[in-house]
Amino acid sequence: MAATVTLEPASRCCWDEPVRIIVRGLAPEQRVTLRSSLRDEKGELFRAHAFYCADADGELDLMRVPALGGSFAGLEPMGLFWALDHEKPLVRLVKREVQTPFVVELEVLEGHEPEGGRLLGRAVHQRDFLPPGVRREPVSAGRVRATLFLPPGEGPFPGILDLFGSSGGLCEYRASLLAGHGFAVLALAYFKFGDLPKYLREVNLEYFEEAVDFMLQHPKVKGPGVGLLGFSKGGDLCLSMASFLKGISATVVINSCVANTLAPLHYKDMIIPDLGSDLEKSTTTESGVLDLMNIWNNPLEEPYCQSLIPLEKAQGPFLFIVGLDDHSWNSKLYAHIASERLQAHGKERPQIIYCPGTGHCIDPPYFPLSRFSVHSVLDLAVLYGGEPKAHSRAQVDVWQQIQIFFHKHVNGKKSVTLSKM
């Protein structure tokens, strides 16, 4: 092959780490196409491509040279990763097995023809989800079903419980990556996994209390409290945990409601009803997918305000991550309600990060945008929102802000030095 593709780091690194891509051995100012491809565990193919022009020395450094078009344009050193897309628009890229990497193939093709150009160079890069030295320990303790990820070293480490949304099951990829940054992270399942309930018909907070106790009693977890990280439905569960349970030092929620949703919440002799929704209030986009933004009842109106979570009872601080193009929840409104309620009760206002052009599914850095997908509960195609470039930038910033927040409020570090992303 005529060209050499150099990657830094060379052959593998963690998914949330950036890669520098340099192509050498091209003709001066040669026009080429760079193409990336990845197959997930189900064999689904995701691809991206971009058009470039080499410099006067026949070199192409993606940190210095902008893309001229294709899946993206402009100076985007990681564009070949965050722009990966499936030919079927409803297929979302997720990592199901964190003990194996994603393998990304990078190709250099002659001309600006992503399908027909002559192959000039090729490289393969492994993107790991289990960082070096991180230990993965399945957990089946009492009723708790989870996976614990422990950083390398003796510890103890600041502890975090990580919850996903209404898809259920056990999602580990965010927890495993976060453990690589010095946290003991428990990826917690709460339905549709093992012997847990198959459907989310009711939620018992005692289950989550047991998970918190498990972490606080673990010899590798640093007390006196743990952090909570929740996305979507997992977010309002984290808000309920912070409000009613002891041992919670800090809570981060990503595109979540400030009211209890989808199922009644039980704790001791208390029941918080679910907010409720009306699917008939949904709208359908031109591409035929549902926009769920307006289906939820207003948590400030009677009788729906009974589902509001009493955040003022929480002891630790909050961080709300808000995608301003979230079409699953009115996340901006809910964060505002939370802020007003906390201040009305004399509590510190939460930290809120507003992310323009960002949709519902905010993942760790360099995951492609999932703008719409088939909802696991409704079994219908729904709109999640987001614009690829803005969404990608938000994921990088949010990932850093989450680490800073937890290091400060769970680990007790006033200043944190993060790796360049």
The segment(s) of the chain belonging to CATH 2.60.40.2240 are 4-128
In this predicted structure, what is the pLDDT of residue 117? 86
In this predicted structure, what is the pLDDT of residue 417? 61
CA distance 229 to 373: 23
- Burial class for 270, CB neighbours closer than 10 Å (0-12, 13-18, 19+): exposed
* Terminal-residue alpha carbon distance, the chain: 31
**Antiparallel, parallel or unpaired: β 184-188 and 144-150:** antiparallel
Q: Which positions of the chain have pLDDT values less than 50? A: none
Q: What is the CATH number of domain 4-128?
A: 2.60.40.2240
The segment(s) of the chain belonging to CATH 3.40.50.1820 are 135-409
pTM of the prediction? Answer: 0.94
Q: Select the CATH number that applies to the domain covering 135-409 from these four: 2.30.42.10, 3.40.50.1820, 3.30.2090.10, 2.40.50.1020.
A: 3.40.50.1820
In this predicted structure, what is the pLDDT of residue 421? 54
b vs e for 380-416, b when ≥16 Cβ sit within 10 Å of the residue's Cβ?
ebbbbbbbbbbbbbbbbebbbbbbebbbebbbeeeee
Among all residues, which ones are annotated catalytic? 232, 326, 360
In this predicted structure, what is the pLDDT of residue 100? 96
In this predicted structure, what is the pLDDT of residue 1? 61
